[in-house]
Amino acid sequence: MEKRYLGKSGPAVSSLGLGCMGLSFGYGRVTEKAEAVALIRAAYDEGVTFFDTAEVYGPWTNEDVVGAAIAPFRDKAVLATKFGFNIVDGRQEPGLNSRPEHIRIAVEGSLKRLQTDYIDLLYQHRVDPNVPIEDVAGAVKDLIAEGKVKYFGLSEAGAATIRRAHAVQPVAAVQSEYSLWWREPETKIFPVLEELGIGFVPFSPLGKGFLTGAMTAATRLEKNDFRSTVPRFSAENRQANQPLVRRLEALAAAKGATPAQIALSWILAQKPWIVPIPGTSKQSRLRENCGAVKLRLTEQDLAAIAAVLAANPAQGARYAEAQQRLIDG
């Protein structure tokens, strides 16, 4: 698989990463550890070298899975994890916590669970309004000096926060949601990243599964599937958004591809410093996603996709109000 650099100062990674959250957290059924380990190792066999996790996924269980999975090829993998939530005795408590002393505790826990002595890319998971970002960046800078972290990242951070953090410790990557049906980062975030030489890591590049074409208004979401609380995934909005997927399916068929491959290839075509991290629990979907890196969209293809998006704007809010409040402006 081709490599991409996460900005000017960041590491070289596979052009497609693997988001591991859904193996342990957020999407209903938890994948058995052996099955999850096998999937992560299958991703490596497909050429994926960039693996994304976080202490809050579980909490903690996802880091255990990822650490066990990548142990045989740790030196060839680029491992990203995150801090920033308030986790006490393995339970997520309300609120955020990016106090420097808490960052250090979180990192020590992550290192143990991940079975490693360094983290390649350490993100602040959400911007903590109670802790100056300069203090956060300074704490990560100290960890980098100690060799426990290699690169600093931010997740769902606004443009002003990115600039302030970067002035203290260079930011290698910013992670935010980005896909065919959520393009807001293009307006305020992309220009800052391009100016400062920072990479971009889109999570949910397949629209939390919707853009694969596998979901309909009749799809049942389990109570522990967080999409059941997302307005865009109400039955009404899933029905309203079907025309977008049907149009993507038609475009995909003309290219001998799938809607998921079109969605991922479209992201890869936007900027050379973008590395999406689709997640899946199925090896068949993993192979399908990896096939997107070989798909080349022409200018005509991109124009056709733009026309589809213009004619079929996504219906429904991205997050419920309580979740949206965690996003930095």
Q: Which residues are catalytic?
A: 57
**Cβ contact 216:190 at 8 Å:** no
Distance of CA 86 to the CA centre of its chain: 20
138 vs 142: CA distance, rounded Å: 6
Our measurement of the distance from residue 75's CA atom to the centroid of its chain's CA atoms, rounded to an integer in Å, reads 22
- Alpha carbons 25 and 113: distance in angstroms, whole number: 16
DSSP state of 241: T
120 Cβ contact partners less than 8 Å away, ≥ 6 residues apart: 11, 77, 78, 79, 80, 150, 151
C-alpha 23/C-alpha 106 separation (Å) is: 21
Alpha carbon distances (Å) from 80 to 142, 184, 255: 18, 24, 33
Annotate 297-308 with DSSP letters as a single string.
--HHHHHHHHHH
CA-based nearest residue to 204, from 168, 235, 233: 233
- Nearest CA to 232 out of 170, 177, 289, 152 is that of 177
